[in-house]
């Protein structure tokens, strides 16, 4: 039987990247061949629903494939968070979609494809597209016991891997759709995580990123070890060089965790800790379950115990009930804390969330004004923070050839900062000591120190 080809388009967060990488391997193990163009037998869109613009982009891609599908039959699948959120609505908006596969059904996709193809005679036209009553289409969006699939090395960087340790979220922030698309928190057993990481190292992986909507909640649902204890155990894995993790929630960021980050040489000294707002009133409306003072105390403890630690955050402006005073408090907090970088967004209504029903909505023009100012402020802070790092010696993991200069390699420091150096591309995947000599935008120019590259 001829192998079927597939395209897998991924959108959204790093957890979606991990899901897509794992699914890619599942499909290949089932005899599928990855295609480099749009003539594939199967097209899969792994979707993101965190903002309205992300969802609109997915429907735009579905319309694109609708036009192609009229010319050549193929199986079109929507999976991920939009699939979970919309369910049957996807079929009403996009009747050319063959399957809608939710976030808990990812591992079943090879099996679902077999069932789908067995129901269609290969010699016929695409039956599912020809039947507008959706009789040939199915929705698989049940939330239940999430099945963790084994992590695999990154397709782009085979020396790195994403490892999902907890799936879902129990926080139910009033603006966030994730608990409704990913379900409640479910942790993978620590013994299996450690075994999987050792297997990744055996395959050449030296850097892992532990993933979860809230990694700090790890183990609370199944009575396993804490997240801090998991980091401590993974730090013992021979051959592993770096451990990263995201995303953390301030409510569950403990002193025990800070101590483990400090004392574990493999845990990167870079923390992404979403603030969202520095107004206690807005934080309460968001149901974030912490005050700005609590957040600031975490930052103070991090900087006291781990001097030089790099920090990034998420900021959401224009949330309902956010007054000018509330906004200024967030702006001043950014100036006080001085994050190395920040991911900044304006609030958008997500149907199905509690805040979608809030009446006091900030005007769109005002949202844009606030966002532009906060971006400009952070841009200046990032520049100043980076300038303070000039002259420092850092260990660099060489990741790829530089896009801007083919004679240079791009890598990341322990603190997640990009650096380019003039090296041979055969050194990709190795670690080199560099001195941060100059800045171009937010990228450092590194000077290689006289020491051998290590793998």
150 assigned to some structural domain: no
280 assigned to some structural domain: yes
Report how far residue 148's alpha carbon sits from residue 163's, in angstroms, rounded to the nearest whole number: 10
Q: Are residues 337 and 414 in the same domain?
A: no
151 assigned to some structural domain: no
33 assigned to some structural domain: yes
152 assigned to some structural domain: no
Q: Are residues 343 and 265 in the same domain?
A: yes
Q: At what angle do helices 255-263 and 227-234 cross, to 10 degrees?
A: 10
Q: Are residues 220 and 100 in the same domain?
A: no
What order do you get walking across the sheet with 341-346 strand by strand?
A: 270-272, 310-317, 341-346
pLDDT computed for residue 455 by the predictor: 65
Q: Are residues 314 and 408 in the same domain?
A: no
pTM passes above 0.85: yes
Q: Which domain holds residue 406?
A: 393-448
Residue 269 belongs to domain with CATH number: 3.80.30.20
Q: Are residues 164 and 106 in the same domain?
A: no
pLDDT computed for residue 123 by the predictor: 40
Q: Are residues 112 and 185 in the same domain?
A: no
pLDDT computed for residue 6 by the predictor: 95
Structure token digits, residue 291: 């005050």
Residue 404 belongs to domain with CATH number: 2.40.50.140
Q: Are residues 355 and 419 in the same domain?
A: no
Q: Are residues 302 and 339 in the same domain?
A: yes
Report how far residue 51's alpha carbon sits from residue 267's, in angstroms, rounded to the nearest whole number: 31
pLDDT computed for residue 133 by the predictor: 42
pLDDT computed for residue 453 by the predictor: 59
Domain end (from 91, 109, 140): 140
What's the number of domains the chain is made of? Answer: 3
Q: Are residues 262 and 203 in the same domain?
A: yes
Q: Are residues 123 and 213 in the same domain?
A: no
Per-residue pLDDT tens digits of the chain, which is 455 residues long: 467 999 999 999 999 999 999 999 999 999 999 997 778 999 999 999 988 889 999 999 999 999 999 888 999 999 999 999 999 999 999 999 999 999 999 999 999 998 888 766 444 444 343 334 444 558 998 888 889 999 999 999 999 999 999 999 999 999 999 999 999 999 999 999 999 999 999 999 999 999 999 999 999 999 999 999 999 999 999 999 999 999 999 999 999 999 999 999 999 999 999 999 999 999 999 999 999 999 999 999 999 999 999 999 999 999 999 999 999 999 999 999 999 999 999 999 999 999 999 998 899 999 999 999 999 999 999 999 999 999 999 999 999 999 888 789 999 999 999 999 998 778 999 999 999 999 999 999 999 998 655 66
pLDDT computed for residue 235 by the predictor: 98
Residue 133 belongs to domain with CATH number: 3.40.50.12160
pLDDT computed for residue 116 by the predictor: 85
146 assigned to some structural domain: no
How far is C-alpha 341 from the geometric centre of its chain's CA atoms? Answer: 16
Q: Are residues 213 and 354 in the same domain?
A: yes
Report how far residue 410's alpha carbon sits from residue 397's, in angstroms, rounded to the nearest whole number: 9
Domain end (from 348, 367, 389): 389
Q: Are residues 213 and 291 in the same domain?
A: yes
102 assigned to some structural domain: yes
148 assigned to some structural domain: no
Domain end (from 339, 356, 389): 389
């Amino acid at each position: 039987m001829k192998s079927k080809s597939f395209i897998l388009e991924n959108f959204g967060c790093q957890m979606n990247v991990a899901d897509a990488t794992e699914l890619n391997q599942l499909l290949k193990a089932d005899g599928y061949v990855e295609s480099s163009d749009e003539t594939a037998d199967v097209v899969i869109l792994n979707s993101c629903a965190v903002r309205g613009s992300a969802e609109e982009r997915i429907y735009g891609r579905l319309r694109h494939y609708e036009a192609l599908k009229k010319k050549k039959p193929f199986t079109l699948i929507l999976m991920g968070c939009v699939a979970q959120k919309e369910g049957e609505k996807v079929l009403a908006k996009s009747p050319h979609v063959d399957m809608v596969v939710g976030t808990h059904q990812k591992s079943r996709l090879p099996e679902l494809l077999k069932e789908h193809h067995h129901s269609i005679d290969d010699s016929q036209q695409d039956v599912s597209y020809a039947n507008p009553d959706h009789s040939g289409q199915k929705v698989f969006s049940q939330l239940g016991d999430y099945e963790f699939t084994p992590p695999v090395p990154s397709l782009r960087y085979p020396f790195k891997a994403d490892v999902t340790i907890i799936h879902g979220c129990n926080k139910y922030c009033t603006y966030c759709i994730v608990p409704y698309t990913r379900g409640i928190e479910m942790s993978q057993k620590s013994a299996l995580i450690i075994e999987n990481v050792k297997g990744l190292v055996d395959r050449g992986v030296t850097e892992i990123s532990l993933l979860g909507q809230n990694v700090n909640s790890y183990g609370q649902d199944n009575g396993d070890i804490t997240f801090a204890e998991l980091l401590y155990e993974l730090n013992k894995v021979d051959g592993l060089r770096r451990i990263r993790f995201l995303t953390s929630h301030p409510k569950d960021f403990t002193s025990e965790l800070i101590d483990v980050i400090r004392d574990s040489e493999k845990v990167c000294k870079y923390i992404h800790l979403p603030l969202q707002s520095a107004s206690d009133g807005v934080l309460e409306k968001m149901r974030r379950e912490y005050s700005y003072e609590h957040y600031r105390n975490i930052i103070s403890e991090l900087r006291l115990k781990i001097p030089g630690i790099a920090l990034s955050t998420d900021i959401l402006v224009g949330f309902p009930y956010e007054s000018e005073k509330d906004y200024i408090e967030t702006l001043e907090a950014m100036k006080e804390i001085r994050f190395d970088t920040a991911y900044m967004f304006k609030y958008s209504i997500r149907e199905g969330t509690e805040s979608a029903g809030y009446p006091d909505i900030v005007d769109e023009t005002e949202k844009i004004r606030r966002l532009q100012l906060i971006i400009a402020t952070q841009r200046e802070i990032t520049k100043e923070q980076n300038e303070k790092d000039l002259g420092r010696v850092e260990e660099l993991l060489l990741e790829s050839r530089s896009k801007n200069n083919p004679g240079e390699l791009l890598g990341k420091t322990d603190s997640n900062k990009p650096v380019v150096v003039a090296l041979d591309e055969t050194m990709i995947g190795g670690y080199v000591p560099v001195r941060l000599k100059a800045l171009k935008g937010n990228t450092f120019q590194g000077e290689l120190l006289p020491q051998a590259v290590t793998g």
